Every structure is written in C-alpha cells, then in structure tokens.
Amino acid sequence: MEEWIQRIAIYIVLVTVLRSLISRPQYQQYFRFVSGLILILLLITPVVGVLGDDSRLYEILNRHLYQLDLEDIKSSLQLAEGQRKELIREEYRRSISIQVTDLAEQRGLSVQEVQVTLGAEEEVTGLEIHMASQQQSPSKAELREFRSLLQQYYQLGEESVVIWI
C-alpha cells in the first residue's frame, strides 16, 4: 500500500513538472489526456491485485476475447456458406437454362429467356420459357412436343412448364 501511494506521489510531481515545461496549449490537452490515462492505471492497480492474480484476470479476459473471436468467425463462415450455396444454385439455374435453350435450338425453336425454379433439394420444380420473336411463330404442336420433352427430361408436372410466345 505504501509503495502504491509513493508511486502516485512521484507521478503527481512528475506530471506537474512536465506540465509546466509544455508551453503550447494544443500539446497541453494531449498531455492531460495521456497523464489522466496513466493515473487511472495507477489507481486501478491495487483493485486488480485485490481481485486476484493478474495472470488470472488476463486469462479471463483472453478467454472472453477468444469467445468473441470464435463467434465472429462462426458468423462469417455461416455467411460464406450461404453465399456459396446461392452461387451454386445460380450456376445450376444457368446450366439448366443453357440446356433448355440447346434443346429448343435442336428443334428449330428460338428461346429469348429461361427462368428456372429450384426446390429445397435443388431439384427443378418449374420452367418458364419466353420464346424469341421470329418471322414465323412455332406451331402449337411443336410447342406441345417441346413442352412434353421438358416435362419428361426434368420430371415435371404439366403445370410446371410454361412457354410464352
């Protein structure tokens, strides 16, 4: 306890001498701030000693910081995993769209846009096809045949494939 009081007394004397040596007002405010922080640390030292061993306090603090870092990493991983899944779903939609366009072109049909609906298990649950404008529109029979092919190919129900002209 005596040592603590001596440290504070020496600190006050040093701060007083140094404060009188600083002539510019803008430096004085920084000096007061830093010296205030040091004084707070000097005053807290015995309280930390009463709470227990310093290493135990640092251990508790480090454990808490570790938990915070771990939670942050977990949330970052969950976000990255969600983004990865969405990228995979988008790539899958794009690949199915290309397949549908290729199947249409093999039958002489021109496709402008394909919208693919995926289910929870990444299965195709619906197709919406917008045909491109042509000089000669495809016949209803050609469209029915193409629609039937898509229903069989992707194992979809009748209402799951919609073709817009």
In this prediction, residue 51 carries a pLDDT of 62
As averages over each run of 10 residues, the pLDDT of the chain (165 residues) reads 83 86 78 86 75 67 82 85 88 92 89 89 89 78 89 88 86
* CA dist., res. 130 & res. 40, Å (int): 72
In this prediction, residue 135 carries a pLDDT of 64
Identify the burial level of 150 via C-beta atoms within 10 angstroms of its C-beta, where 0-12 means exposed, 13-18 middle and 19 or more buried. buried
Tokens of 101: 């366009």
Cα atoms found within 13 Å of the Cα of residue 112, Cβ hemisphere only? 8
In this prediction, residue 50 carries a pLDDT of 64
DSSP 80: H
* CA dist., res. 156 & res. 145, Å (int): 14
In this prediction, residue 139 carries a pLDDT of 83
In this prediction, residue 53 carries a pLDDT of 59
In this prediction, residue 95 carries a pLDDT of 93
Is the pTM higher than 0.85? The answer reads: no
Domain ranges of the chain: 1-51, 86-164
Q: What angle do CA 145, 147, 152 make, to 5 degrees?
A: 95
Beta strand 124-131 pairing with 161-164: parallel
CATH number for the domain formed by residue range(s) 86-164: 3.30.300.30
Angle formed by the axes of helices 54-106 and 25-51, nearest 10°: 100
